[in-house]
Amino acid sequence: MRLSPTARQRQDHALSSSNSSSPPNNRQALIVFAGVAALILGLIAAALLSSPKNIAIGSGTLLKAPRSLPEFSLIDQDGQPFTRESLLGHWTLIFPGFTYCPDICPTTLGVLKAVEAQLGSESSNLTVALFSIDPERDTPETLKRYVQYFSPNFIGVTTQEPQLKQMAQTLGVAYLKVPGDTPESYTMDHSAALVLIDPQARIAGYFTPPHQVDALVRDLGTVLRNRS
């Protein structure tokens, strides 16, 4: 049966409309999926670029999520306030100890003196701080004389109880007063890990004893070069 010209035109128009309606819908779907995929990839890339570099150190542990320090108030070797704001903008290596310490404290500070020298210009963004857990004997003047024997760049900080205990707990430092033969001859037992504070005043990691110059130079150099 032949179709009349009018019928054929209607059929051709129907076929044409049917065949042309699908491609635009497919193209729109592809555009939407491509846009979503691009958005997801962009978010992933942004997350990767903004997250800290994953680096490993052999002489200690870096925290995957640095812990922000709360507000605190200590006194430095010049008798000036030392607060959370004092830690901002540079790296800080905190060592718990006391000036009457017979062995581990002078040994560790001697190691840190050598580390500072070997790091060279990189150490300009690193402050070494002795956190005294013996405020009875470690006055600011005593702290200053003691730490600057090792390096003029080292500082000393302390405070009285109960703030001392609170700060020690915040840093993960343990200490205990050990009585001697006389009230003045007591000593202090304390942990010896170095606490690494980042420029945002957060605990970034710990270096565990025994402290070796070469290992600390390597690991601190890696941190200073790869994290901000």
pLDDT value of position 53: 57
pLDDT value of position 128: 99
Give yes or no for a contact between 20 and 177, defined as CB atoms under 8 angstroms apart: no
Which phi and psi angles does 61 have, rounded to 5°?
Answer: -135, 130
Using pLDDT thresholds of 50, 70 and 90, give the confidence band for residue 183: very high
- CATH of 60-226, picked from 3.30.70.260, 3.90.180.10, 3.40.30.10, 1.10.10.10, is 3.40.30.10
C-beta atoms surrounding 3 within 10 Å: 11
Q: What is the mean pLDDT of residues 160-169?
A: 98
Helices (H) and strands (E) in the chain, counts: 5, 10
Q: What is the mean pLDDT of residues 101-108?
A: 97
The string of pLDDT tens digits covering residues 107-149 is 999 999 999 999 999 999 999 999 999 999 999 999 999 999 9
Kindly report the pTM of this predicted structure. 0.76
